[in-house]
Amino acid sequence: MALVNEHFLKLPNNYLFADIAKKVNAFKVTHPKTDVISLGIGDVTQPLCPAVVEAMHKAVDEMGRTASFRGYGPEQGYDFLREAILKNDFLPRGIHLDIDEIFINDGAKSDTGNIQELIRWDNSIGVTDPIYPVYIDSNVMIGRAGVRGDDGRWSNVVYLPCTAENGFVPQIPDDRHVDVIYLCYPNNPTGTVISKKELRKWVNYALKNDTLIFYDAAYQAYITDPDIPHSIYEIRGARKCAIEFHSYSKTAGFTGVRCGYTIVPKELTAATLEGRNIPLNPLWNRRQCTKFNGTSYISQRAAEAIYTPEGKQQVRQTIRYYMQNAHKMLESLRRLGYEVYGGENAPYIWMRVPAGTGSWQFFEQLLYGAGVVCTPGVGFGPSGEGYVRFTAFGSHEATDEALQRIENWTK
């Protein structure tokens, strides 16, 4: 008899964005004349830049000729892309990586979910709260998260609240040791960032306690403030304690192209029960060679094009486009008296809902009152209750219209 992995049954079966879609559809049925504007889901809207499109066309043509056809590529990714990453994303920041420390992936979601295969099932994990749901759910699936309480908290997960009260700076756990900690900066969903000084505290904590840091840098391209680190490896000692994830999804509109990369430094180790330190880089390489056959050649050529002078300039222009939305949203929501955070080095605005209102309640009020969709903060974790998330990924026109409607509705 095939027995099911019952850990899957512990996952709450309501998926945040499916719940939102259901509520929006119910609204549309009863209000067929209102055209709903979504500032909810974290997908981009602007097309791929010309440098990327050209590179993809060229790659397709190569694939269509016997002489230049490519089949399976290296599981770790093609050197042309890994070299471009070294030279452009790390060397200018004084970070010297070895090419074998870079693993090209098909997007950061896969690797942020899969990376936990490298560690035993009984490690304790810590997350900042609210968070990107993949970190916890992927641990639930193998039984590491324990049982889910009525408050939505998992028994084996340490939650580090990030709220307006603590300035969205997670406190280092002093009462309960965590073996693994997930950090995401700039943060989804709050749009807040971490300074070098605060990140250094985490690296020092990790070195002292043999904690492994999973650092999600999916939004690093949105950083404009020079004091905000783009990579955890800007902090001394981080190579001994951190794995870092990058994605081209939000950087260059690759949500449908699929490409990113993961850094597993060679100095990084995890211990056996007997206390022997095992380097994780060869283990991840083994894992990838066994379960992954590489990212498509076309996607990797597309990613390489982002590092050309034209590509860089075009990608920056699209990021600027989204950040103009973010700045307008901050300005306009603030003017209406709302308490808003993020939106300066990240494409997300995190807004406190009026006192006495829940996230879902505000979501419905805004939908029925203004025809605008946001994301209820509580969908990202218990500390997200009392907040909603707006994304800056809409068109200028849709964002302006949404803000106008919110203004009319609020007044």
Ligand X SMILES: *Cc1c(COP(=O)(O)O)cnc(C)c1O
Give the interface size with ligand X as a residue count (CB under 6 A). Answer: 15
Regarding 359 and contact with ligand X (CB under 6 A), the answer is no
Regarding 257 and contact with ligand X (CB under 6 A), the answer is no
The least CB distance from residue 131 to ligand X, in Å, is 8
Instruction: Give residues with Cβ within 8 angstroms of 408, minimum separation 6.
Output: 370
The least CB distance from residue 247 to ligand X, in Å, is 3
C-alpha 176/C-alpha 325 separation (Å) is 40
| Burial annotation 296-318 (CB, 10 A radius, 16+ → b, else e) | bbbbbbbbbbbbbeebbebbeeb
C-alpha 328/C-alpha 316 separation (Å) is 18
The least CB distance from residue 336 to ligand X, in Å, is 27
State the residue number with the nearest CB to ligand X. 107
Site string for ligand X, 202-221 (x = CB under 6 A): --------------x-x---
Choosing from 130, 260, 343, 381, the residue that interacts with ligand X (CB under 6 A) is: 260
Binding part of the chain for ligand X, among 86-94, 104-112, 154-162, 327-335 by CB under 6 A, reads: 104-112
Regarding 188 and contact with ligand X (CB under 6 A), the answer is yes
Choosing from 247, 318, 383, 399, the residue that interacts with ligand X (CB under 6 A) is: 247
Instruction: Give residues with Cβ within 8 angstroms of 387, minimum separation 6.
Output: 130, 190, 350, 351, 352, 353, 359, 377, 378
Regarding 89 and contact with ligand X (CB under 6 A), the answer is no
Choosing from 103, 132, 202, 390, the residue that interacts with ligand X (CB under 6 A) is: 132
Choosing from 48, 49, 109, 180, the residue that interacts with ligand X (CB under 6 A) is: 109
What 3-state DSSP class applies to 205?
helix
C-alpha 182/C-alpha 213 separation (Å) is 6
Which residue, 132 or 390, is less far from ligand X as judged by CB? 132
Written as six digits, the tokens of 42 are 């974290």
The least CB distance from residue 410 to ligand X, in Å, is 28
Do residues 235 and 229 lie in contact, with contact meaning Cβ atoms separated by under 8 Å? yes
Regarding 301 and contact with ligand X (CB under 6 A), the answer is no
Regarding 42 and contact with ligand X (CB under 6 A), the answer is yes
Regarding 230 and contact with ligand X (CB under 6 A), the answer is no
The strand pair at 125-129 and 180-184 is best described as: parallel
DSSP labels for 1-29? -PPP-GGGGGS-S--HHHHHHHHHHHHHH
Do residues 108 and 271 lie in contact, with contact meaning Cβ atoms separated by under 8 Å? no
Which residue, 163 or 251, is less far from ligand X as judged by CB? 251
Written as six digits, the tokens of 26 are 């119910």
The least CB distance from residue 188 to ligand X, in Å, is 4
Regarding 250 and contact with ligand X (CB under 6 A), the answer is yes
Choosing from 40, 77, 107, 311, the residue that interacts with ligand X (CB under 6 A) is: 107
User: CA–CA distance from 384 to each of 64, 162, 364, 371, 375 (Å)?
Assistant: 49, 8, 16, 22, 10
Regarding 170 and contact with ligand X (CB under 6 A), the answer is no
Written as six digits, the tokens of 298 are 């076309």
Regarding 296 and contact with ligand X (CB under 6 A), the answer is no
C-alpha 222/C-alpha 187 separation (Å) is 11
The least CB distance from residue 26 to ligand X, in Å, is 27
Residues engaged in binding ligand X (CB under 6 A): 42, 107-109, 112, 132, 184, 188, 216, 218, 247, 249-250, 255, 260
